[in-house]
Chains A and B, each alone.
Chain A
Amino acid sequence: MCFDVKRLYALAIGPVLMLMGLVSNGVWASESERSTVNMTPGVTEVGQQIYDLHMLILWICTIIGLLVFGVMFYSIYAHRKSKGAKASSFHESTTVEIAWTVVPFFILIAMAVPATKTLIEVYSFDDADLDIMVTGYQWKWKYEYLIDEGERVSFFSNLSTPQSEISNTEPKGEHYLREVDEPLVIPVNAKVRFLVTANDVIHSWWVPELAVKKDAIPGFINEAWTKPLKEGVYRGQCAELCGKDHGFMPIVVNVVSQDEYETWLASKQVEAAQVKQLMAQTFTFDELVERGKGVYERSCLACHGAKGEGGVGNAIAGSTIVTGEISTHLDIGINGVPGTAMQAFGGQLNDVDMAAVITYQRNAFGNNMGDIVQPIDVFNHKKG
């Protein structure tokens, strides 16, 4: 050989071990600056176990790879025809075949043992301090705190990055595409159990730093759990293709102290009681239409005509907006159209009246959409 392989290995061992040590301690994955090249150990014990397992397999594969490629590269160098190498004729060896079947098999067993242990730990679901139901929608998440006494708190969590940032007319904020209007709030050092399901298609709830990823299947519930050990804000994304805005339904989890959590929960329960009042008022179609007629005559007729034929305002009869998506229609009713005479009625009409007039418009003047808007829908739309 033209170089001393033994010396080379001896020289390399030191730095390699040091590198292993550095990397294994997660120096490339320190919490202060989240890694851009490696998995995060996150803020849970299970997450740390998963990370350690990942690094273990990675190192085993790296070492085996270096060995195999080392042999290959050496061969490419030393057994070149241009260097005068003459081909040997050996072409089989049962001993060798057995050896390199059995040895990898034992390496696999060594990997399987910690893997099994970690998997069983991930599957230990009971004894949670808090249960939260997570429902995937196209394209947002709904969280419901399954509290046994008092109001059950539930809210939607939507992407809050403005469209202008996405369409590149505004500079992008620090948490571009990973920020929401209503984050999930959970207490630190408590075991939280998630019951994950979906409203329409399959989604998946993934927060890397909490080491949770669970598919959300419509009609079925799946369990997952986490026990965060450090306060902070942890971000994740939907991890199952669910339609056009799959990339735009992030998850934000605020892990706060027990006190902060209880304060937040209490305020949410007050809100929930309000909502429940409104929800208790589920009106029938006829009630809404009748009420809506009155609202229309008081608030809309002047510009939109007694028969919905328009005037100062656009026609309601046959309008593409009024016969289109409810959310767009509601949006205009609530927020108006800036720069035109159409005011924002959201502040002027209460949720019951708004629901009534939208329902009326969609079903009067020959529109006959057959659909219905409840006060709770208006409430939710306003919240985003």
Chain B
Amino acid sequence: MGDHHHGPAKGLTRWITTTNHKDIGSMYLWFSFAMFILGGAFAMIIRAELFQPGLQLVEPSFFNQMTTMHGLIMVFGAIMPSFVGLANWMIPMMIGAPDMALPRMNNLSFWILPPSFLMLASTLFMDGGAPQAGWTFYAPLSTTYAPPSVTFFIFSIHLLGASSIMGSINIIATVMNLRAPGMTYMKMPLFVWTWLITAFLLVAVMPVLAGAVTMMLMDVHFGTSFFSAAGGGDPVLFQHVFWFFGHPEVYIIILPAFGVVSQIIPTFSRKRLFGYDSMVYATASIAFLSFIVWAHHMFTVGMPVAGELFFMYATMLIAVPTGVKVFNWVTTMWRGSLTFETPMMFSIGFLILFTIGGFTGLMLSIAPVDFQYHDSYFVVAHFHYVMVAGAIFSMSAAIYYWLPKWCGRMYNEKMGQLHFWVSFVGFNLAFFPQHFVGLAGMPRRIPDYALQFTDFNMMSSIGAFIYGAAQILFLYNVIATIVSGKPTSEEKTWEGAEGLEWTIPTPAPYHTFETPPAVK
């Protein structure tokens, strides 16, 4: 094979041509952080406008571009790539593999992202502006009534989808083929399990999104009528196709977060994860159920009552495996020996706040009551609880947890705690009041509101700014750690940590597990 252990290449070429899972993981993480800041900036504009009633800062049409781009960038640019980055870094190390199964495709999967997002962001400067039909871009607002940028938006989505699909194929191939001898499926860390299942979900539904946007493209440019009654089509068809993708998508977002938390809580409880087998089955059940609940996003669209009942029952059912997971995490903590370093704080925060989001999800699943919740701020509050306090808190936990292993330096614990507490307070101040205004009748996606919603909107905006500031603190923490954190060479950074990634040197060498380890 020849001796190629001369370390990574130098300069920019290294990053463009790398096939190393650690390099690619780092690129995904940094890219997603940049997207997080961009999407966050759009959120700041939104909350600044909503600070008071009246239109102060932006035109309604630009406001709609902001809400749309905030959603698209956060979902497709921040959350998804960040967890893919984590997968790239951690999966090979956790299963004792030297790299991902398809390293060159791995490189392509990442490098599709920057041009795709550049194209998406550039729509802000096009005639007619960026897409403004919401991240769910219902037709015909997003087809017949869309600005010219819709074509670039569709192209961007296609590229993102391709990147996700290739990444998922890579993960499946890696997990199925490259586990160290002795690591059976039921011995894999739960993070690997959740990503394996997520990868199958992605491969199944990303093509459906591609189908939806291709039909949009056809309607806009080639005279078809998929979503127009004029030619025999139906706008509701768009909603069905989109949400058939969209619902599994939100589980794609949260399942890896479940995996992260399932690694961290046992470490800081100094106790094995309770009910490993159940956790695997619960994750699989959630994934399966996620395919048959999509129309709970469409309860007000005029479905026959039988359909509404089916989707209501199926959606309610998801509460069962999700509850099982929450109970298992709590029981992991019970009679453990708990310490509360930053990763654990974020994980406990996740546990509390994601559960609250889960409860509002259960409320939303009750179809007749959803008639009052749908398209109100109650929904906005729900999904921010599960996606921000769920996925993002989990990602923050993961960074603090594994950063020492990645770069051989400890973060400053006090700064980490500060980041947690400011985030926790800011987040709840931003989103808890949104439950109230939603229940009181404030719709989504409006730049201005009736006077009775003023106080809670003001609170929400202040909370959002606080939360935003905390993420700048996060960026500082990460950079300060990498540049000047206290060096550490402890293999097992955390006393209670278990798993193959804690048996290699700190910082992790460029190539690890070139010989597979023995797994008992």
B9 within 8 A of A: no
> For B145, B275, B371, B447, which residue has the most chain A Cβ atoms within 10 angstroms?
B371
> Main SS of the interface on chain A?
mixed
Partner of A220, one of B234, B270, B334, B367: B234
Residue pair B335, A68 in contact (C-beta under 8 Å): no
> For B276, B362, B374, which residue has the most chain A Cβ atoms within 10 angstroms?
B362
Residue pair B449, A247 in contact (C-beta under 8 Å): yes
Partner of A175, one of B54, B55, B449, B450: B450
Residue pair B323, A123 in contact (C-beta under 8 Å): no
Residue pair B330, A244 in contact (C-beta under 8 Å): no
Please report A residues at the B interface, Cβ cutoff 8 Å: 34-40, 49-50, 53-54, 57-58, 61, 64-65, 68-69, 71-72, 75-76, 79-82, 85-93, 96-97, 100-101, 104-105, 108, 111-112, 115-116, 118-120, 122-123, 138, 165-168, 172, 174-178, 200-202, 204, 206, 208, 211-215, 217-220, 222-223, 235-248
By beta carbon, the residue of chain A nearest B145 is A201
Residue pair B316, A111 in contact (C-beta under 8 Å): yes
Which residues of the other chain, A, contact B444 by a CB distance below 8 angstroms? 239, 241
Residue pair B275, A54 in contact (C-beta under 8 Å): no
A239→B321 CA distance, assembly (Å): 32
Residue pair A87, B335 in contact (C-beta under 8 Å): yes
Residue pair B316, A112 in contact (C-beta under 8 Å): yes
Which residues of the other chain, B, contact A138 by a CB distance below 8 angstroms? 145
Given contacts A50-B369, A172-B53, A174-B451, contact A79 B324 (CB under 8 A): no
Given contacts A166-B448, A219-B230, A220-B302, contact A211 B145 (CB under 8 A): no
> For B234, B236, B326, B331, which residue has the most chain A Cβ atoms within 10 angstroms?
B331
Which residues of the other chain, A, contact B53 by a CB distance below 8 angstroms? 172, 176-177
Which residues of the other chain, B, contact A76 by a CB distance below 8 angstroms? 333, 338, 340, 348
Partner of A120, one of B305, B359, B436: B305
Which residues of the other chain, A, contact B228 by a CB distance below 8 angstroms? 219
Partner of A246, one of B144, B234, B276, B445: B445
Q: Can you list 16 residue pairs at the A/B interface with Cβ under 8 Å? A: A40-B441, A53-B369, A72-B333, A91-B271, A101-B320, A108-B319, A112-B316, A115-B312, A119-B312, A172-B53, A172-B451, A215-B301, A217-B301, A239-B375, A247-B445, A248-B448
B309 within 8 A of A: yes
| Extra A-B contacts (5), CB below 8 Å, given A100-B323, A208-B372, A237-B446 | A79-B338, A89-B271, A175-B450, A202-B138, A235-B450
Which residues of the other chain, B, contact A40 by a CB distance below 8 angstroms? 440-441
By beta carbon, the residue of chain A nearest B456 is A36
Residue pair A81, B339 in contact (C-beta under 8 Å): yes
Q: How far is the CB of B102 from chain A (nearest CB, A)?
A: 35
B140 within 8 A of A: yes
Residue pair A50, B352 in contact (C-beta under 8 Å): no
Count contacts on B: residues with CB < 8 A to the other chain: 96
Residue pair B138, A241 in contact (C-beta under 8 Å): yes
B61 within 8 A of A: yes
Which residues of the other chain, A, contact B455 by a CB distance below 8 angstroms? 36
Given contacts A202-B141, A244-B59, contact A119 B368 (CB under 8 A): yes
Residue pair A119, B363 in contact (C-beta under 8 Å): no
Q: How far is the CB of B333 from chain A (nearest CB, A)?
A: 5
Which residues of the other chain, B, contact A223 by a CB distance below 8 angstroms? 302
Residue pair A201, B330 in contact (C-beta under 8 Å): no
Residue pair A119, B308 in contact (C-beta under 8 Å): yes
Residue pair B335, A211 in contact (C-beta under 8 Å): no
Please report B residues at the A interface, Cβ cutoff 8 Å: 53-56, 59-61, 64, 132-134, 138, 140-141, 144-145, 228-230, 234-236, 269-278, 300-302, 305, 308-309, 312-313, 316-317, 319-321, 323-324, 326-327, 330-340, 348, 351-352, 355-356, 359, 362-363, 366-369, 371-372, 374-376, 436-437, 439-441, 443-453, 455-456, 496
Which residues of the other chain, A, contact B374 by a CB distance below 8 angstroms? 213, 239
Which residues of the other chain, A, contact B456 by a CB distance below 8 angstroms? 36
> For B132, B272, B338, which residue has the most chain A Cβ atoms within 10 angstroms?
B338
Residue pair A75, B338 in contact (C-beta under 8 Å): yes
Residue pair B330, A75 in contact (C-beta under 8 Å): yes
A208→B453 CA distance, assembly (Å): 15
Residue pair A68, B327 in contact (C-beta under 8 Å): yes
A235→B441 CA distance, assembly (Å): 9
Residue pair B452, A36 in contact (C-beta under 8 Å): yes
Partner of A115, one of B317, B348, B368, B449: B368
Residue pair B138, A61 in contact (C-beta under 8 Å): no
Which residues of the other chain, B, contact A167 by a CB distance below 8 angstroms? 54-55
A245→B55 CA distance, assembly (Å): 12
Residue pair A244, B64 in contact (C-beta under 8 Å): yes
Partner of B337, one of A86, A215, A235: A86
Partner of A80, one of B60, B338, B369: B338
Which residues of the other chain, A, contact B320 by a CB distance below 8 angstroms? 101, 104-105, 108
A215→B297 CA distance, assembly (Å): 12
Q: How far is the CB of A358 from chain B (nearest CB, A)?
A: 26
Residue pair A119, B367 in contact (C-beta under 8 Å): yes
Q: How far is the CB of B220 from chain A (nearest CB, A)?
A: 14
Given contacts A57-B366, A79-B336, A211-B371, contact A241 B141 (CB under 8 A): yes
By beta carbon, the residue of chain A nearest B270 is A87
Residue pair A90, B330 in contact (C-beta under 8 Å): no
Partner of A97, one of B270, B324, B337, B368: B324
Residue pair B309, A68 in contact (C-beta under 8 Å): no
Given contacts A166-B54, A238-B443, contact A53 B368 (CB under 8 A): yes
Q: How far is the CB of B240 from chain A (nearest CB, A)?
A: 13
Residue pair A53, B278 in contact (C-beta under 8 Å): no
A122→B235 CA distance, assembly (Å): 24
Q: How far is the CB of A321 from chain B (nearest CB, A)?
A: 21
Which residues of the other chain, B, contact A236 by a CB distance below 8 angstroms? 441
Which residues of the other chain, B, contact A206 by a CB distance below 8 angstroms? 375, 443
Residue pair B55, A166 in contact (C-beta under 8 Å): yes
Which residues of the other chain, B, contact A176 by a CB distance below 8 angstroms? 53, 450-451
Q: How far is the CB of A166 from chain B (nearest CB, A)?
A: 6
Which residues of the other chain, A, contact B55 by a CB distance below 8 angstroms? 166-168
Q: How far is the CB of A293 from chain B (nearest CB, A)?
A: 36
By beta carbon, the residue of chain B nearest A247 is B446
Residue pair A36, B59 in contact (C-beta under 8 Å): no
Q: How far is the CB of A17 from chain B (nearest CB, A)?
A: 21
A91→B337 CA distance, assembly (Å): 14
Given contacts A122-B371, A241-B141, contact A112 B312 (CB under 8 A): yes
Which residues of the other chain, B, contact A75 by a CB distance below 8 angstroms? 330, 333-336, 338
Q: How far is the CB of A236 from chain B (nearest CB, A)?
A: 7
Partner of B326, one of A61, A68, A172, A175: A68
Q: How far is the CB of A259 from chain B (nearest CB, A)?
A: 30
Which residues of the other chain, A, contact B337 by a CB distance below 8 angstroms? 79-81, 85-87
By beta carbon, the residue of chain B nearest A166 is B55
Partner of A172, one of B54, B276, B300, B330: B54
Residue pair B330, A211 in contact (C-beta under 8 Å): no
Residue pair B145, A34 in contact (C-beta under 8 Å): no
A365→B335 CA distance, assembly (Å): 89
A85→B269 CA distance, assembly (Å): 10
Residue pair B441, A215 in contact (C-beta under 8 Å): no
